[in-house]
Every structure is written in C-alpha cells, then in structure tokens.
Amino acid sequence: MKRRTLFSHAALLLFAQALAGHVDAAPGDASVGGLVTDSLGKPVAGANVVLQTATGASAGTTKTDAGGHFSVQDVAPGTYAIVVTATGFASGSSIATTSPGTASSVTVALAESDAIDVRVTAQRLDQARNGLSPETGSSVYRITSADIHNMPQGEATPLNQVLLQAPGVAQDSYGMVHVRGEHANLQYRINGIMIPEPISGFGQSFDTRIIEQVDLLTGALPAQYGLRTAGIVDIQTKSGEAGNGGTLGVYGGSHGTAQTSGDVYGTEGALSYFFSGSAGVNDLGIEAPTSNGSPLHDHTRQGNAFGYMSYLINPLTRVSVVFGTASNQFEIPNTPGQPTQFVLNGRTNFDSAALNETQSELNNFATVSLQGTNGDKLDYQIAYFTRYTRTQFNPDPIGDLLFNGVASQDFRSNWANGLQGDTTYRLNSSHTLRAGVYFEQDRAVANDSVSVFPTVDGAQSSDQPFTINSASTTIGRLFGVYVQDEWKVNDKLIINYGLRYDKMSEVVDASQLSPRIGVVYKATPSTALHAGYARYFTPPPLELIAPTTVAQFNNTTNQAASPQNSPVQPERSHYFDVGVTQRVTSAVTVGVDAYYKKATDLLDEGQFGTALINTPFNYQTGHDYGVELTANYKDEHFSAYANLALSRATGENIVSGQFNFSPDELAYIESHPVNLDHDQLITGSAGVAYTFARTTYSADTTFGSGLRSGFANTDHVPFYVNINLAVIHHFQAPLVGNFDGRLVVVNLLNRAYELRDGSGIGVGAPQFAPTRAFYAGITKYF
C-alpha cells in the first residue's frame, strides 16, 4: 500500500510540473486553503497538510482545525500538490493553482486505513442502527450539520426554523411548525430512540448544535413508526468519533440578544463523548402582539445542555447514554391601550402595558441503549428512555381579573418512562425482516388555581373575587408492537409491508391493528418512484389533558360557553402517498410528492383559556391532502434548495371538549367542513450558500399564503415572506488560531408580517414575526 501511495504522489507531482513548468520559491500574496473530509463527508480534524512544488520541495505545512479547514498563507503563484495525511486514514492529495492576490480552495477526501479502530467500528454500528429504520415508501428530507452551518444563523438557528427548510413545513407562532397541514403530531427520535413529547410551550427542547444530521420522514411510514406520525424528526447526534476538540461561541445583536455556547468531544480508548451547552437572553422571547417590532414585557432566559457517551464493549456491541435538558423562562408580551372589562374592589383602571404574566418551562430527557450487530445478519437496539416536562403559567393577579375576569395559575407536568426494542434480521438477499416493541407509562399532573368573579345571568354580580382550585393526576400507558418484511423483488423493485398493533390506556381505552405497505421502483438509474399506504392510530397528548368539571365554573366569569365536555378520543386515519424523484445531473435533484389523509376523530389543539397552554379536541371527520415540489443543487462550492407545497386540511363537527367553543361556532362546524386553524394553502422555502476560499455567502427565505383566521376559520391572515442573509468567514490568525465570524440580517425587507391576528378556532392573541434584526457571532475551534 505504501508503494502505491508513493507512485500516486510521484505521478501527481509530474502532472503538476507539466501544468506549471516551474514555481518560484519566493513568497507571494496568494494562499491555498480548503477542507479535509472522510469518505462520508465528515470533517477530519488534526490532519497534516503539506504543499509540495513540482520538484517535491515543501512550500508550506499546516494542520486542519476541528471543522476540517486548513489554510496556508503567503504562497508564491504557481501549481502545487496538496498532500494530506491523518491517523487512521490513507493519505490523500489534490492539485491547486494559485494566482497573485487570490485564494485557492480544494477539498480532499481521505479513505480510511485498513486498520479497524474505534471510528470504523462506530461507523459499522451506526450503519447497523440506520438499518433498523427503513424509509421504504415514505418521503425523506435530510439536513446535515454542514447544511445547518451554512444557514444564515448557523447553529444558533432554532430547531423549528431548521425544519422550515423541508417541504410542506409551515411556520406558526410560539415556535410551532405544522407538517403537511397537521397540528403538532411530530415524533422526535434521538439516534433511533423515540423521545416522548414535551408539554407544548414557547421554547425548543433540542439544541441545533447537537445535530450531525436530522431527517424529516413524512408520508406512508413503515410499521415501526407509530403514535405521532405527521412527521418523524430523526436526529443523529454528534458523537466525538471524528477526533478530539471543541468549540466556544458567542452570538448576539438586536432585541438584546446575547448567547454563549460551547462543546467538547473526543475519543479515549473505547469511550466516545460529546457534551454541549448554551445559555442566552433576549427581549423577543415570544412573537410580539403588535407590529412595531419592539414588544413590551418580552424578556426571556433560555438554556440547554446535552451529553452523549458511547462505550464499545467489543467491535460489534456498544452501550450509549444520552441526556439533555432545556430550561426556559418567558415574559408574556403586552398590548398597550386595552380597556378593562371588570371591577375589582371598586377598581376599574389598569395600564395593560404593565401586565406581568410569565411562563416557565423545563424539559429533561435521558436514554440508555444497548446496540449491536453480528456483522452479517442480525442488528438490534434495546433502549430505556425517560422524560420529565413541566410548564407553569403565572397570571397578573390584578390585571388579569380586570381585563378577563379570570386570573388562572396553571401547572402541568408529565413524567414518562418506557422501553423500546428494535431488531433487523437479513433472512436472505431478497428478504429483510424487522420487528420491535414499544412501551411507555406517563404520569400527568395538572394543578390549577383560578380566581374569578361571581355572575348572575352572565353579568358580574360582585367585585370581590374568589378562587377555585383543582388538582389531578392521570396515569396513562401506551403499547405498540410491529413486524415487517422488506422484500427486494429485483434490482428495480422493493416492497416493504408489515403490521403494527397499538393500544392505549389513558383517559379512554382504545387499540388498533394497522397495516402498512410501501413500494419503491427504480425506473431508471436516475428515476425513483415510491408509493405507500398506512393505517394510523394517534392517541391524544396526555400531558395536555386536564380533567375538567365544567359545572364548577357555572355562574362565574369563567363559565363555559357550552356545558358539553366529551372525552378526547384517539385519531384513526388512512394515509396514501405517491411521489417521484429525478436526478437531473450529478448535482441537481428534483421531486414531486402527493398525499391524501382521511381521518376519524381528527385531533387538533387550541388555546382557549388565558393560560398559553394548548388543549386537544376532536373533529368527527377530517381530510388532509396536498402536493409538494422540491429541487436541490449541490457541488463543491455551491448549494441551493427550493420547496413549494400546496395543501388543504379540513374538519367537521366538534365531538370532544365542546365547552371550549361558542354555541354558534359549534352549530356552524357541525354542518360545514371548516379549514383547520393551521391550514395554509401555499407554503414555500428556498436557500442558497456559496463558498469562495474561506468565505461563505448564505441566504434563505420562507413564505406562505397565511394561516386561518376569522369566525370558524373562514378567512386567513395575509401572505408573508421573510428573507435572511449572512456572511461567514473562516479566520486563521496568529495566536488566536482558527475561528469563524458571522454577520446576519434577519427579515431583510423589514416587513411586519402577521402569523396570527387573534381570531380563528383556538387562537388566543395576535402574533407578529420579528422585524429586521442584525446579529453577529464568533465560533472558536480548539
């Protein structure tokens, strides 16, 4: 192998000599830089880089930083061989030609050496873990850590905004996103392990900085995906297996934004680790209720921490521990100039700009998994998971009574524990069998302390409030089991078929046997068609269900508009999906995908009280259908994507939680299919990133026709568009070393676009997206 390497370098140098003729040894004002990666495109840190002239002499040496970048300054104009060596890899090389006053950039991919080290073993196990989760028949959109780095805000981009890169993902207020016209119903997985959902709030549960790659799976999903099925957000975390290092970053700018972050990663023998954390503050924690871009009382403090540790028991088995936490504090922004509606101890005046409502959120999770393979036929992963989530809304005890007649302190918590097991067995070259089991137990707690006024015939009868307290604890259990076969009929046709059984025991007991089938047909080497059908069973989110006795608020200012309160049911649906992907060139891929969903007891959520906590309810029937168009371009220096989705989501007849609705709304929805509040006819996103030498220019945009508004969602808010820009430069400075600098403009056009106008089913208040803002950040690599 050493002889082949020497021969290839000699040939490369002869080729360089033929191109250049000669190279002056005198220093010049040119430079050579670039990126060193492994065969999977991951950066290689600490690699030795040597510039060689056509005569074999060294013209400069350096090492790659934690991001795989390198740069050699003051290089004489000419043609050079760039020779790269790194532990665990075969050497690699490339050619670079420099000109006066210019910077040349190359990418060198290194092949791994024949030795089996920790990194190779981990990659084998990663491939085995990926084999547990097939995607046959579903639609998959992948976003890598490199893609995230090239976004305008980079790793400071919240996860919900990262997902807006994918087709059919619509932006909503309070950090929510809607996939293919569905409310929430997203399943989050960390390294293949399902993480029970948190109580919905304003903050993000997962920090973007932990992501190595995130896949969004939609459509007709294989049998191992159950419960939450609008989209599977499958996060592969960074692991430290690429080498030892770390980063330290600061980011800040408009709206009082200041954030610090850092991570450390590496491998020590059989142990790999990655730890990350961030903390920050700003004055735009929640979307503003007014369009002026400077909301009152909107300060937030947010912090995240994450850890990953993996230990190789042997080359075919490892045990992994993952844990994380997100702690967020929010002020609820105020709208000035609002009139009071009630009298408190003779008082009728209160400045609405001085209201002091707050909300605190905490999300903790952890997993312990044993994963292995026999290297041939069998892969498996067994995991224990736990998650504790807590949200508390604190009212303004005086102002809320004067404005709303209700001041409600609301606490919700949920502690979930469970087991997940998945296994793959390759029976032969045509059949791959998969099976698994899932069990989860939840303990949901709801405590409410509600101050109200007495009423007579709907009118306030006293200015002395009194308090009604309620508390409940609900135990819920979820169980699922699946089996499926991936049948490779021939080189062109793959059929994945299976069955899934789910059972829930929560507020109600229910179960369902769900068939799944997906087909992929490779019509040509560049054309792939897929189609699928899935029967889905979706339990309501237990952590949002607070048993309510409607009658306890009769003859108070919190009396329900309707006395009926049927229990929330699980949603059952039929889902159909068909699409085609075309690789136009090696750099360009386009696709189209269409879907249709028919649901019984369609689940939706809305904010119906003063507390900003959603409440689930059912439509008797629902329909959801649409089409998505995608295009992607990627080469060595330039990448671009564009998505356009058309969708329609409707429901008819409210059959649970009726007390949240007015009688006229209930009557209208009973006889008219209505658009769901998160329905948006047109949703789009696009982005570009261009790298020249050590500078990346980035831009992205999201746009939409507007979410629903008005009585029974019969209208929608106006069309919106948002454009963000950034310039990212990689520096190599004496003493300081390697670091990235980033300048960002958010909402370049400074359009005050409205996400919600305060009307519509389950919509509590107006929310405007941020006006134009400027940010800057520095990330130091170690």
Write out pLDDT tens, residues 284-324. 888 888 888 788 999 999 999 999 999 988 888 899 999 99
| Residue 466 within a domain | no
Amino acid 507: pLDDT: 84
Statement: residue 10 has pLDDT above 60: no
Question: Where does the pLDDT of residue 546 fall: very low under 50, low under 70, confident under 90, or very high at 90 and above?
Answer: low
| Residue 462 within a domain | no
Question: 309 with 271: CB under 8 angstroms?
Answer: yes
Q: Are residues 48 and 93 in the same domain?
A: yes
Question: 224 with 230: CB under 8 angstroms?
Answer: no
Q: Which residue has the tokens 């509590």?
A: 764
Output the six-digit token pair for 73. Answer: 């300054």
Q: Are residues 257 and 301 in the same domain?
A: yes
Question: 577 with 593: CB under 8 angstroms?
Answer: yes
In DSSP terms, which residues pair with 409 in a beta bridge? 449
The Cα–Cα gap between 284 and 273 comes to: 34
Domain boundaries, position 24: 2-110
| Residue 94 within a domain | yes
Task: Tell me which residue of 756, 571, 564, 766 sits closest to 661, measured CA to CA.
Answer: 564
Amino acid 747: pLDDT: 93
Q: Are residues 105 and 197 in the same domain?
A: no
Q: Are residues 58 and 190 in the same domain?
A: no
Q: Which of 76, 110, 144 is the last residue of a domain?
A: 110
Give percent of the chain above pLDDT 70: 91
The Cα–Cα gap between 330 and 359 comes to: 5
Amino acid 268: pLDDT: 86
- Whole-model pTM: value is 0.82
Q: Are residues 152 and 21 in the same domain?
A: no
| Residue 464 within a domain | no
Per-residue pLDDT, averaged over 62-91, amounts to 85
Q: Are residues 97 and 161 in the same domain?
A: no
State the virtual CA torsion across 723, 716, 232, 643 in degrees, nearest 10. -40
Give the domain CATH number at 172: 2.40.170.20
Amino acid 111: pLDDT: 72
More confidently predicted of 204 and 567: 567
Give the domain CATH number at 85: 2.60.40.10
Under DSSP, the state recorded for 288 is B
The Cα–Cα gap between 767 and 287 comes to: 5
Amino acid 27: pLDDT: 45
Q: Are residues 144 and 79 in the same domain?
A: no
In DSSP terms, which residues pair with 309 in a beta bridge? 273, 321
Q: Which of 83, 110, 137 is the last residue of a domain?
A: 110
| Residue 161 within a domain | yes
The Cα–Cα gap between 12 and 83 comes to: 10
Q: Are residues 627 and 715 in the same domain?
A: yes
The Cα–Cα gap between 6 and 1 comes to: 9
| Residue 116 within a domain | no
- Dihedral sign, CA of 122, 128, 132, 138? positive
Statement: residue 453 has pLDDT above 80: yes
More confidently predicted of 187 and 736: 187
The Cα–Cα gap between 91 and 169 comes to: 43
| Residue 775 within a domain | yes
| Residue 460 within a domain | no
Task: Tell me which residue of 124, 373, 121, 145 sits closest to 271, measured CA to CA.
Answer: 121
Output the six-digit token pair for 303. Answer: 């912090």
The Cα–Cα gap between 237 and 253 comes to: 28
The predicted-structure confidence for 633-683, as pLDDT tens digits, reads as follows 988 889 999 999 999 999 999 998 888 888 888 899 998 999 998 899 999
**E strands present in 571-678:** 571-583, 588-606, 615-634, 638-654, 674-675
Task: Tell me which residue of 602, 594, 713, 598 sits closest to 657, measured CA to CA.
Answer: 602
The predicted-structure confidence for 326-379, as pLDDT tens digits, reads as follows 999 999 999 898 999 999 999 999 999 999 999 999 999 999 999 988 877 899
Burial 339-366 (b: 16+ CB within 10 A, else e): ebebbbeeeeebebeebebbbbbbbbbb
Q: Are residues 184 and 88 in the same domain?
A: no
The Cα–Cα gap between 426 and 432 comes to: 4
More confidently predicted of 420 and 287: 420
The Cα–Cα gap between 629 and 613 comes to: 34
Q: Are residues 104 and 168 in the same domain?
A: no
Q: Are residues 86 and 159 in the same domain?
A: no
More confidently predicted of 701 and 292: 701
Q: Terminus-to-terminus CA distance in the chain, angstroms? A: 33
Give percent of the chain above pLDDT 90: 55
Q: Are residues 160 and 71 in the same domain?
A: no
